[in-house]
């Protein structure tokens, strides 16, 4: 019984660390596959839809972008085990022939809790950590990847600046 307990407790800690590392007891959103990431980051074909109709207004669509919940150790830019698995999916996607030759921005975002300068600095460090991981493990050319930290300046949930959804890494296709 003691051996079983010694095996189960660390497993539960590892499994639960994802939600608690982000400071939220909410279940994590579904993790995109590498194919999903490729689809989201692939630009439309020439002559595709540059605009869309939204509630009677014409809105210009931005560049292909995906928001990813990449986890790090608490108050650190070190990827945790779950974060590395997510960045591995991103690395496979960026190495896909459909995305060959494109440049990407890796943008770190935080929620509004804490000091603004600290959040911006940490989000920059985290974006750089993702970039460095992709360059070292997947041999993505460094000139294809730029990293920037926005801190809490660009929340995805403007109604609740402290929402965990605002803590994310956003990948944007910048073109060739």
Burial track 106-115 (b if 16+ CB lie within 10 A, e otherwise):
bbbbbbeeee
Per-residue confidence at 50, pLDDT binned at 50, 70, 90? Answer: low
List the domain boundaries for the chain.
2-175
- pTM of the full structure: 0.76
The topology under which CATH files domain 2-175 is: 60s Ribosomal Protein L30; Chain: A; (3.30.1330)
Report the run of H or E that residue 169 belongs to, with start and end: strand 168-175
Please determine, for residue 46, whether its predicted confidence score (pLDDT) is greater than 80: no
> Do the beta carbons of residue 108 and residue 126 sit within 8 Å?
yes
pLDDT (0 to 100) of residue 45:
82
Q: What pLDDT shows up at residue 48?
A: 58
CB 32 within 8 A of CB 40: yes
pLDDT at 101 over 50: yes
In 20-164 the beta strands, taken as DSSP E runs, fall at 51-54, 57-60, 65-68, 103-109, 145-151
Q: Mean pLDDT, the chain, as a whole number?
A: 83
Pull the structure tokens for residue 67: 């928001």
pLDDT for 62 equals 86
């Amino acid at each position: 019984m003691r051996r079983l307990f010694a095996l189960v407790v660390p497993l539960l800690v590892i499994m639960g660390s994802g939600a608690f590392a982000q400071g939220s007891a909410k279940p994590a959103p579904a993790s995109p596959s590498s194919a999903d990431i490729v689809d989201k980051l692939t630009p439309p074909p020439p002559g595709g839809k540059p605009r869309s109709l939204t509630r009677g207004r014409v809105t210009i669509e931005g560049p292909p972008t995906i928001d990813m919940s990449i986890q790090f150790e608490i108050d650190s830019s070190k990827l945790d085990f779950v974060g590395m698995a997510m960045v591995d999916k991103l690395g496979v996607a960026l190495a896909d022939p459909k995305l060959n030759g494109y440049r990407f921005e890796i943008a770190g975002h935080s929620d509004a809790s804490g000091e603004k300068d600290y959040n911006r600095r940490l989000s920059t460090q985290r974006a750089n950590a993702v970039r460095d991981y992709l360059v070292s493990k997947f041999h993505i050319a460094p000139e294809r990847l730029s990293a920037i930290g926005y801190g809490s300046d660009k929340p995805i949930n403007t109604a609740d600046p402290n929402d965990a959804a605002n803590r994310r890494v956003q990948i944007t296709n910048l073109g060739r």
